[in-house]
Amino acid sequence: MRCPDPAIVAEAEEILARFRALRRDLHRSPFADAERAGLTGPQVTVMACLVSKGPVTLTELSRVLGMSHSTVSGIVDRLQARGLVRRSQDTADRRRTRIMVTETVTRYVGQLEAGPFGRLTTALEQARPDQRRAISKGLRLLQELLR
């Protein structure tokens, strides 16, 4: 058996490392991303609920989440301080305040729900058409050579 060219070995190692990194990036835990961003699990839960329910009052949010009013109020206060949620006066009843998420949160929760496919789609949307063709062509070629 002959020894493979060291340059080819180095390229193969780099390609495998890139595949591992791609897999890790596609399948990374969105909750780990949230934690790195300084968000807690309950904060992510509140944001996801607000995205799915739309603007709600603090009382409605507490009831839906099964959390105390004071707990949800504290979470909302922290999210508002970070610019992730807003409070606005209810147009039908000015005594009530509705809580809503920002567009950034809506996108983030959408990515959580979309999973790896959503991350890949988002990345491909940022690429130019010629870059997308090059990615596809390169992957097809590599797949053919491996067979």
DSSP string for residues in 56-85: EEHHHHHHHHT--HHHHHHHHHHHHHTTSE
Residue 87 lies in a domain: yes
Q: How many domains in the chain?
A: 1
Distances (CA, A) of 128 to 45, 80, 99, 133: 35, 36, 38, 9
CATH number for position 40: 1.10.10.10
Tens digits of residue pLDDT in 100-112: 999 888 887 787 7
Domain that holds residue 34: 6-146
Helix (H) or strand (E) holding 100: strand 97-101
Question: In this model, does residue 35 exceed pLDDT 80?
Answer: no
Indicate whether 22 belongs to any domain.
Answer: yes
The span from the CA of 119 to the CA of 111, in Å, is 7
Predicted TM-score of the model (pTM): 0.62
